[in-house]
Structure 1
Amino acid sequence: MVDLFLNNRDILLSGLMTTLLASIIALVGSLIIGTFMAILQVSPLSIPKKLATAYVEFFRNIPLLIIVMFFFVVAPIYGIQFDGFSAGTLGLTLYTSAFVADTVRAGIDGISKGQMEAGRATGLSYIETMWYIILPQAFKIVVAPLGNQFINLVKNSSILAMVTGVDLMYQGDIIASTTFATIETYTMIGLIYLCITLPISYLMKYIEERYSLTN
């Protein structure tokens, strides 16, 4: 397996960089969109609340592959072109954002309603109270679930291989088909993914422990 890695290290490194880039973009994007949707889900306004709920239910209950293939195959029919990387990353972002929204919303629901009332009583607007008072506490509650979502995101980034996204999994498929070292190749790819996800897991545990000590 060592020789296999050394002989193919250039394309493996290229695939790894693509996987990391797609994961980082999707992580940031899904956190922003998911948090926004979570805020709308607990909004006192009926229409934004219903729209956000529909968004979450829609993307949460559709297979990731279908979402990615829509951007890669269907969108070009209507003149909107996406390469494999863009289609995969966009699909991954939208899909993960639905789960992030549910997670953050659960955190917000875990905060006493009195916190919002107290914030409003001091003259803060709804958005300001949510941003400065509610969300910081909500994120402390959902650190572990969010960490799980981010780990799943990294693993789900292998979907790029289905749309020629030249990610780590895609390069692994090429190595396996050209060297016929199937077992060794996919074992090696699995270990590389493990090297990505384990640090994330330990980092989230560390953050969770720090938050618990400050409470």
Structure 2
Amino acid sequence: MDFIGAYSIGNINYLLAGLLNTLLMALIAIIFSFIIGSVLGILRYAKVPVVSQLVVVWVETIRNLPLLLIIFFTYFALPEVGIKLEVIVAAIVALIVFESAMLAEIVRSGLNSIEKGQIEASRASGLSWMQTMWHIILPQALRRMVPPIVSQFISLLKDTSLAVVIAMPELLHNAQIINGKNVNYLIPIFLLTALLYFAVNYTLSIVARRLENKERSSKKTTGKTILHHKKAGGEAM
């Protein structure tokens, strides 16, 4: 093992360049997969004839396929039908397709967690379905969805390492390149690579836990408030 040689300025900079590509790829995939996943989740929740059924088929199909297969398809299969993508674009597209299906299920579950009575009350008060969804349901559902969404984003960040199979210059790929120069760099380089992955993902996991605890505290506060009002109403009677 050669820790001194492995941790040269050049090697560390090369690893950090790979980490930057990983974070950039994850950020773009997170933004677009969240948008697409939200739309798919809402369409599935709305139970629009034909459209919702098509969304169910798409989401369930993608969720039950390995991400590695989707990456291979976007990079190797699409060129066979005239769609050739650059390595980074192919990796990002594969991540968006896969993660949007995962997020669609999170969004649908979050929307289903809202009591149906709120929808009925909103519609009875004269609000349209869209107004009810936008002003009443979505704000509450989003607060409940934040912890699982952050957890899914952590998974997405780790999944970027699978892009190594198409030679995407992300963190793991660059670590392998450095190791290829000298077999004595194997343990030092992969220890540092693991540390970089851990630092980023652990930070995100802390955020997810805090958001989850905040949501639990909010639910407890809401429950106490409702109980207080019920007691007050009973005493008034």
Gaps of 5+ in 2: 220-237
Query: What is aligned with 2:131?
Result: 128
Q: Which moved more, 1:120-129 or 1:97-106?
A: 120-129
Aligned residues: 215
Question: Aligned equivalents of 2:210 and 2:7: distance in 1?
Answer: 32
Q: Which moved more, 1:136-145 or 1:62-71?
A: 136-145
Following TM superposition, by how much is the alpha carbon of 1:139 offset from its aligned partner in structure 2, in angstroms? 2.2
TM-score by length of 1: 0.93
Task: Map 1:167-186 onto structure 2 (within 5 A).
Answer: 167-180=170-183, 181-186=185-190
Q: 2:6 aligns with which of 4, 16, 21?
A: 4
Whether the 8 Å contact between 1:36 and 1:101 is mirrored in structure 2 is yes
Q: 2:144 aligns with which of 141, 146, 165?
A: 141
Question: Aligned equivalents of 2:114 and 2:8: distance in 1?
Answer: 52
Whether the 8 Å contact between 1:140 and 1:208 is mirrored in structure 2 is no
Following TM superposition, by how much is the alpha carbon of 1:3 offset from its aligned partner in structure 2, in angstroms? 4.9
Following TM superposition, by how much is the alpha carbon of 1:204 offset from its aligned partner in structure 2, in angstroms? 1.8
Gaps of 5+ in 1: none
Q: 1:192 is aligned with what amino acid?
A: L
Cα pair distance change 1:2/1:210, threshold 3 Å: farther
Query: What is aligned with 1:187?
Result: 191
Query: What is aligned with 1:196?
Result: 200
Task: Map 1:90-169 onto structure 2 (within 5 A).
Answer: 90-169=93-172
Following TM superposition, by how much is the alpha carbon of 1:212 offset from its aligned partner in structure 2, in angstroms? 3.4
Query: What is aligned with 2:47?
Result: 44
TM-score by length of 2: 0.84
Following TM superposition, by how much is the alpha carbon of 1:154 offset from its aligned partner in structure 2, in angstroms? 0.4
Whether the 8 Å contact between 1:25 and 1:89 is mirrored in structure 2 is yes
Following TM superposition, by how much is the alpha carbon of 1:133 offset from its aligned partner in structure 2, in angstroms? 1.5
Q: Determine what percentage of the aligned residue pairs are the same residue.
A: 34
Question: Aligned equivalents of 1:3 and 1:109: distance in 2?
Answer: 55
Cα pair distance change 1:74/1:19, threshold 3 Å: same
Question: Aligned equivalents of 1:132 and 1:2: distance in 2?
Answer: 58
After superposition, the CA RMSD in angstroms is: 1.6
Following TM superposition, by how much is the alpha carbon of 1:5 offset from its aligned partner in structure 2, in angstroms? 3.1
Question: Aligned equivalents of 1:3 and 1:211: distance in 2?
Answer: 47
